[in-house]
Amino acid sequence: MKDRINGIRKEARASWWEDGITEIVAGLGVLVIGSIGISGYALEGRVPPWSYAVFILLMVALAFGIRWVVLWAKERWVWPHTGYSVVKGRGGKYLIPFYLIVFALLALAFLFPSYTPIVGGTIGAVILVSLALYNGLRRFYALALLSFAFGILLYSVGIRDDRATFLLLIGVGSVMFFLGVLRFARFKREVSSVHEG
Amino acid sequence: MRDNLYSKLSSLDRTINEPARLSIMAALYDLKEADFVFLQRLTGLTRGNLSAHIYKLADKGYIAVEKRFVGKKPVTVCRLTPEGERAFREYVRVLEDLVKGKGD
């Protein structure tokens, strides 16, 4: 009985990610932030100081806008087929340890700037592993591993400044977007095959 | 101690202690809300069956049912009430105690 309860709970939580839309939108958002960041780095000294404020505002808008875009996309392409559902926000007893780990890692990045790529990759991995633990989907573990591997790679090739963070965002964002598109294509096939039957 | 567990088991909430209703409660426990079509797909119940069980759970005050529009589509949205959440947690706790052989 307990297995059945856990199975249904797991399936209900995973349902939010089964279409890949969250990865497409979040991946694209991360990719855009990374691309703008790296462009700003390349143009350093040639961009006005207010552009940094615009960059931060854009990051905040993207962070809040991602959920809105995901809901908008689901309303059009997913809910007509699968039915409407909204997953509960993550939280509870794991939220405080999660923030503590992320803040500790950020503090490490400030104390030892040369380890920025490794710390960045680890923060990405912590976020993705916590998501994977919540929804039980293996592809999030793979993304977490990739984030960590990207961090190590950037560090080992000697990219250890701000560029590393932006390149990391571009790398992880691209893979996340690509995986999301693949998942969404599969989801569309599954949905249409159900309807044809 | 064992007697205590058996008496606990016999006092399990009968509204939840039915596979279909337990499925609905388990699904809604991790969701903020879900509509009829989603619950039907997840639990594999027929429309009539699901409707009857939702009615029973709503009647007991464990779930709240609301009709509303999502985009341009009318949907029947179900959500676990705080009372329903408490009842579900208690139900799972009793089952866990039984598996672990714990009594009061």
Q: How far apart are CA A52 and CA A56, in angstroms?
A: 6
The total number of structural domains in chain B stands at 1
DSSP state letters, A163-176: HHHHHHHHHHHHHH
**Among A75, A79, A88, beta carbon nearest to B31:** A88
Q: Is B98 on the interface with A (CB under 8 A)?
A: no
Mind listing the pLDDT tens digit for each residue in B29-72? 989 999 999 999 988 899 999 999 999 999 999 999 999 888 78
Phi and psi at residue A51, in whole multiples of 5°? -65, -25
pLDDT of residue A116: 87
Mutate to test the interface with B, among A86, A90, A93 (most CBs of B within 10 A): A86
Q: Model confidence over A133-186: pLDDT tens digits?
A: 888 889 999 999 999 999 999 999 988 887 888 899 999 999 999 999 999 999
What is each CA distance from B12 to A60, A108, B8, B69, B97, in whole angstroms?
48, 50, 7, 37, 12
Residues in chain B: 104
What strands, in cross-sheet order, belong to the sheet with B73-80?
Answer: A85-87, B31-35, B73-80, B63-70
Write the CATH number for B19.
1.10.10.10
Q: Which residues contact A110 (CB under 8 A, 6 or more apart)?
A: none
Residue-by-residue DSSP string for A72-138: HHHHHHTHHHH--EEEPPS-GGGHHHHHHHHHHHHHHHHH-GGGHHHHHHHHHHHHHHHHHHHH--H
Give the mean model confidence (pLDDT) for residues A26-35. 91
Complex ipTM more than 0.95, yes or no: no
Domain housing B79: 2-100
Query: A86 and chain B: CB distance < 8 Å anywhere?
Result: yes
Phi, psi of B70 (to 5 degrees): -110, 110
Residue B35 sits at the chain A interface (C-beta within 8 Å)? yes
Instruction: Look at A82 and A1; give whichever has higher pLDDT.
Output: A82
pTM, two decimal places? 0.82
**In the predicted model, is pLDDT for residue A55 greater than 80?**
no
Residue pair B102/A9 in contact by the 8 Å Cβ criterion: no
A75-133 pLDDT per residue, tens: 999 998 889 998 887 666 677 887 888 888 888 877 888 888 999 999 999 999 988 98
CB–CB of B39 and A83 under 8 A?
yes
- How far is B51 from chain A, CA to nearest CA, in Å? 15
Q: How confident is the model at residue A44 (pLDDT cuts 50, 70, 90)?
A: confident
Q: Which residues of A touch B19 (CB under 8 A)?
A: 4
CB contacts of A78 in chain B (<8 Å) are none
Residue A194 has pLDDT above 70, yes or no: no
Reported confidence tier of residue B102, pLDDT bands at 50, 70, 90:
low
CB contact under 8 A, A84 and B42: no
Cα dist from B51 to A47, B44, B65, whole Å: 61, 13, 11
Q: How far, in Å, CA of A58 to CA of A15, rounded?
A: 29
